Structures are given as structure tokens and as C-alpha cells.
Amino acid sequence: MQSRFFTIQNHPQGLPDQNLFNLETAALPELGDGEVRVRNTWLSVDPYMRGRMDGVTTYIEPFTLGSPLEGAAVGEVIASRDSRFAEGDRVRHMGGWRDVAQLVADQVEALPAIDVPEQAYLGVLGMPGMTAWTGLNTIAGMQAGDNVLVSAASGAVGSLVVQLAKAKGVKGGKVVGIAGSQAKLDWLESLGVTAVSYRNKDAQQLSKDLKVACPDGFDVYYENVGGDCLEAALNNLRVGARIAVCGMIARYNDDCPVAGPGNLAMILIRRARMQGFIVFDHWDQYPSFLNEVGPLVARGEIDYRETVEDGLEKTPEAFLKLFEGANQGKMLVRL
């Protein structure tokens, strides 16, 4: 049996284009003891993959040039030589960016039994959802009544953060989301979130707009973007604010270091705490996340959205679109 998969041959400089990606075909080796073969049905593309293309070890190993790229995927077991999996099982694993994956069974997990579409386990009930829940609760320690600011608020992570914050903010705290298009702002407003655009604004203007949106300032800033969003957020912190640094997508395509915000002293002035986190360090909490958020999703109480590209060939395009803001909610590829 053959597998089609994507590789890169070079480390990109700056924002990559589609020429970076090669679609290759290779015959799979015979299935070994303890291995499973999975026909992928959905692939995840995620901003963190950009960092893995740089050839530098961070909190995760870089992609190997010329080898199949990796990423989260769900699919159906089509052959198994491991007693834990049988043909027809629906599973999740990291053998994405390809149509058929052959994996050691230890690297494959059965999908949880919550009654949701299987691709939800790549988004709202997968790594991005777990990231939203962890950052808001464990890292930022959000409390009822807190005013919460979220950047990239209509994305996979951000759109769950704002909804969890709304649900928890029962004592009248305000939730403000930053996003980049009118459709995204409209969606956020429909969720009861005060939406602020960052497009065509410098940090000073964004600061002023955030002040209008929430004159009392923010107790929590959920950071997905960095750059001007961070600078504007720092100007609008309340005393004792907590910043959960989840991501800084505005910086992922920089090819040299860029000076940080000039107003970092606001952390001192507002006696704020700023903490980065990587969701995989908290993965032992995934069952608790599923227990809490899974039923909300199954009952339709979370408005989660997906932006879907069809066909393996579209995977690089889907990935690159993350940096244009072309997605609402989770960006996925359907095979």
C-alpha cells in the first residue's frame, strides 16, 4: 500500500509559500508486530508547526528535512497487528500531513466516547480546546468577575477561551476579544463578547480602543498574538493582572529577533504576572478537561466553528492561511 505525504527540503526564511512543500508518494513497509495502519480522515494544521520548520529544537523537536511532516490527525484503522486496535476503530495520532499513516500502536489513541463529530477531537475537544481551558484556568487563574482580554479571539483556542470566560464570569466580568475581520468581530459579538479589531492600527490606537471597550482594565490577558496586541494589552492591565502567554503568532515568521514592547514596565506598575505555558506539560489534566467541556460541546452549548479545506493537496494552503487569518475557529483538512 502507498502513502502520500508532505515533506520540506529547506528551512523557510520568513513567511513560507507553497513551494516549500513537496507532496511525495512511497510504499509503506509491511505492517510489523505492534503496529497499526490508519487511513486519515481529518488533518490538523496548527501555528506551532511553523516553529518546527526552523530546524531548531524548542519545546519540541524540529521537523526532519525530507521526512514526512507530522501533526495531529484522526482516522480509521485499516489494518492492525496490535491487540488494542481493530479494523474500523476511530483513532487520533500525530501521523498527519499524509493520507495513510503507519504507526507504533503506543502512539495511537482511541477517540473518546463523547457524541461529537470526530474532527472535534482535533479542535474544541482536542489540543486547542485543552490549551484554552488550561491557559484560562490553570495559568491565568481566572475568577468570576474578572475582566478578560483575548487576542486571536475567533481562532481555535481563542474562541473557546472567550466562551469559557463568559460562562465563568458570572459576577459581571467583561470579556473582550481582538480579531481581524468583520465576520470574526460579528461572531464574537454574537457570543456576548465585546469585539475589537486590530487591523490597520498601531499599538497606541489599539490601546485606546481597548480602553473604550473596557474602561476599568483587564484582570486577565490571554495572549495568542504578541506584537502590538501585547503592547496594547499591557497598557490596559488592572493591578494584579495575570497574563497567560499561550502564543505569539505575529512573530512566528520573523527571520530575526524583533524588539519587544517598550512598555514592559507596566508589569511592574500593575504588579502583574506573565507566565508562558505549553499544553503538553498539562496533558495529565486532559480527562478533567473532557469531563467539563465535553458535555457542553455535546449539548451544543459551545459555538465552535471549523474552516475546512478539502483534499490532502490543500494541506500547505490550509496551514499558510492561518497566518492570513483566513480561518474562523479550527483550521482543518478533510480527506
Does residue 128 bind ligand NDP (CB under 6 A)? yes
Tell me if 16 contacts ligand NDP by CB under 6 A: no
Closest separation in Å from C-beta 210 to ligand NDP: 14
The smaller minimum CB distance to ligand NDP, of residues 155 and 169, is found at 155
The CA distance from 121 to 113, in Å, is 11
Should residue 327 be labelled a site residue for ligand NDP when binding is judged by CB under 6 A?
yes
β-pairing, 330-334 with 148-150? unpaired
Q: Is 163 in the site for ligand NDP (CB under 6 A)?
A: no
Determine which helix (DSSP H) or strand (DSSP E) holds 296, and give its type and residue range. Answer: helix 286-298
User: Residue 46 or residue 146: which is nearer to ligand NDP going by CB?
Assistant: 46
Instruction: Enumerate the H helices of 119-190 as residue ranges.
Output: 127-133, 156-168, 182-190
Separation CA 79–CA 51 (nearest Å): 33
> Least distance from C-beta 251 to ligand NDP, angstroms?
8
Residue 123 engages ligand NDP in binding (rule: CB under 6 A): no
249 binds ligand NDP (CB under 6 A): yes
Give the shortest CB-280-to-ligand NDP separation in angstroms. Answer: 7
Name the residue nearer to ligand NDP (CB basis): 214 or 279. 279
Q: Tell which one of 5, 37, 46, 140 touches ligand NDP (CB under 6 A).
A: 46
Query: Alpha carbon of 274 to those of 91, 163, 207: distances in Å?
Result: 36, 22, 18
Task: Give whichever of 75 and 180 is closer to ligand NDP, judged by the CB atom.
Answer: 180
Q: How far apart are CA 154 and CA 188, in angstroms?
A: 7
Interface residue with ligand NDP among 184, 218, 306, 312 (CB under 6 A) is: 184
Assess contact for 42 and 122: CB atoms under 8 A: yes
Taking the complex as a whole, the smallest distance from the CB of residue 323 to ligand NDP amounts, in Å, to 5
Q: Are 149 and 219 in contact (CB under 8 A)?
A: no
When the beta carbons of 105 and 158 are compared against ligand NDP, the nearer one is 158
Verify binding: residue 161, ligand NDP, rule CB under 6 A: no
Q: How far apart are CA 334 and CA 42, in angstroms?
A: 5
Residue 323 binds ligand NDP, judged by CB under 6 A: yes
Nearer to ligand NDP, 131 or 235 (CB): 131
- The footprint of ligand NDP on residues 95-114 (CB under 6 A) is none
3-to-62, 85, 106, 288 alpha-carbon distances in Å: 22, 20, 20, 36
**C-alpha separations of 223 from 21, 63, 101, 246, 274 in Å:** 29, 26, 34, 6, 10
Q: Which residues of the chain form contacts with ligand NDP (CB under 6 A)?
A: 46-48, 128, 131, 152, 154-158, 179-181, 184, 224-225, 246-247, 249-250, 277-279, 322-323, 325, 327, 331
